[in-house]
């Protein structure tokens, strides 16, 4: 049996292979936060009061730069390590779904909305006539964890998972995952910004519910940015992911989907969405939801028009035609009856072939997933194994040869 190169490699090789799988923006944020912390440590800079998010300074002196500097600076080694380790899986997953440019915009956007929520809540609570809490206006917050909490909510919504593991100890419903982490960090750690993390969760839910749709560019904007000469060097980087590749699952909110949000608000569905505490991936009435395994939309089999149908409508149409073929019709001459039923027979043949084709496709997807799991169990990286298996047309032996030659090269 061919030796497994991944398991026999040393620690530096494994770290290099792991780092090569981290996409462009995610690795860039990790490097930026790490370098900033090291520079502050070497020069002895610890005056975080000048760069943290301080609501009183933002209001009185309009120091809006604190919105972004507060996210990049960290107070201790454990602080930056814990935040970056939490960012790696979230950033890798979201960047592969969204693309590098879209994720960068999302991080900047979330940093802004988190700070706005933070500022509004601090002002309201500090000016509360019943029981004012002015200390929130002078609370200094730093760290990337607010954006991470927003990304947790967004990634959970896009993945569609039903449960999440908390530190590998126990599983919780996915819709409560961010809230449970919020409570646990407050109980287990000191000097944790409850308001900063809470505003991150609120921004994540507002994004997934579509309240920010008017502020999100469409795919054409990201494509124009990627095709600009300024980013030509970045686009050619191996870890750079284009936004034009589309999403692997879920539905990303964009400016073009604002009609969905307005329809949901006018129809009285807002309270039901909020009460569920779980972001819902809303779909426009003119654009039905798709099965991730079968991209595209169903068309009426044997029809001459181009009317788009949902999978349910296609099944109903197929069932209606099959029933129509089996109903009794008035007696006619043998010649006329033969001429009338020939087109129906052709339609039935097409329907049968379409159903068989869908079953074959489904079976092929299951086989591909099984082979991919085997390659991952052998120690190969999931993304590389998926690409190699696709290039080998599903042949695991050829895929292993491709992966082995790639690692040896």
Catalytic sites, residue numbers: 145, 197
- As to burial, measured by CB atoms within 10 angstroms (0-12 exposed, 13-18 middle, 19+ buried), residue 254 is middle
Longest dimension (CA), the chain: 100
Q: Do the Cβ atoms of 402 and 2 come closer than 8 Å?
A: no
- DSSP letter at 158 equals H
CA atoms of 114 and 120, how far apart (whole Å): 10
CA atoms of 110 and 102, how far apart (whole Å): 12
Distances (CA, A) of 131 to 124, 128, 134: 11, 6, 10
- DSSP letter at 213 equals G
Q: Which residues fall within 8 angstroms of residue 336, CB to CB, at 6 or more apart?
A: none
- Dihedral sign for Cα atoms in the order 315, 317, 318, 322: positive
Q: Which residue has the tokens 């900063």?
A: 196
Residue closest to 375 by CA, chosen among 357, 356, 395, 358: 395
For 88, other C-beta atoms within 10 Å of its C-beta total 17
CA atoms of 354 and 298, how far apart (whole Å): 11
Q: Do the Cβ atoms of 162 and 174 come closer than 8 Å?
A: yes
Tell me the three state secondary structure of residue 166.
Answer: strand
Tell me, rounded to whole angstroms, the distance of Cα 177 from its chain centroid.
16
Q: Do the Cβ atoms of 241 and 24 come closer than 8 Å?
A: yes
């Amino acid at each position: 049996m061919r030796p497994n190169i991944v398991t026999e490699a040393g620690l530096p090789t494994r770290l290099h292979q792991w780092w090569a799988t981290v996409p462009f923006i995610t690795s860039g944020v990790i490097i930026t936060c790490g370098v900033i912390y090291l520079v502050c440590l070497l020069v002895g800079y610890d005056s975080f009061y000048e760069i943290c998010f301080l609501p009183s300074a933002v209001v009185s002196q309009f120091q809006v730069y604190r919105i972004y500097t507060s996210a990049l600076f960290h107070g201790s080694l454990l602080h930056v390590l814990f935040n970056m380790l939490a960012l790696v899986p979230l950033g890798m997953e979201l960047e592969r779904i969204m693309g590098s440019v879209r994720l960068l915009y999302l991080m900047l956007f979330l940093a802004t909305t988190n700070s706005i929520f933070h500022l509004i809540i601090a002002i309201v609570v500090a000016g509360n006539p019943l029981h004012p809490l002015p200390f929130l206006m002078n609370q200094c917050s730093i760290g990337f964890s607010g954006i991470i909490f927003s990304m947790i909510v967004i990634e959970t919504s896009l993945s569609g998972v039903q449960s999440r593991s908390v530190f590998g100890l126990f599983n919780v419903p996915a819709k409560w995952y961010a809230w449970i982490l919020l409570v646990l960090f407050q109980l287990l750690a000191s000097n944790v910004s409850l308001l900063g993390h809470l505003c991150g969760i609120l921004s994540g839910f507002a994004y997934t519910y579509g309240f920010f749709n008017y502020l999100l560019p469409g795919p054409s904007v990201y494509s124009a940015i990627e095709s600009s000469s300024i980013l030509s060097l970045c686009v050619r980087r191996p870890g750079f992911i284009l936004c034009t590749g589309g999403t692997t699952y879920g539905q990303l909110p964009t400016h073009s989907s604002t009609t969905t949000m307005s329809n949901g608000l006018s129809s009285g569905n807002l309270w039901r969405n909020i009460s569920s505490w779980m972001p819902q991936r809303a779909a426009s009435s003119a654009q039905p939801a798709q099965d991730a395994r079968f991209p595209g939309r169903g068309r009426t089999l044997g029809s001459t028009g181009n009317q788009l149908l949902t999978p349910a409508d296609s099944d109903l149409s197929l069932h209606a035609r099959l029933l129509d073929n089996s109903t009794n019709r008035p007696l006619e001459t043998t010649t006329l009856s033969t001429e009338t039923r020939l087109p129906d027979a052709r339609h039935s043949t097409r329907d049968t072939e379409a159903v068989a084709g869908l079953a074959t496709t489904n079976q092929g997807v299951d086989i591909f997933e099984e082979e991919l799991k085997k390659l991952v169990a052998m120690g190969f990286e999931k993304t590389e194994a998926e690409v190699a298996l696709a290039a080998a047309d599903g042949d695991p032996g050829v895929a292993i040869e491709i992966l082995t030659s790639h690692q040896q090269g």
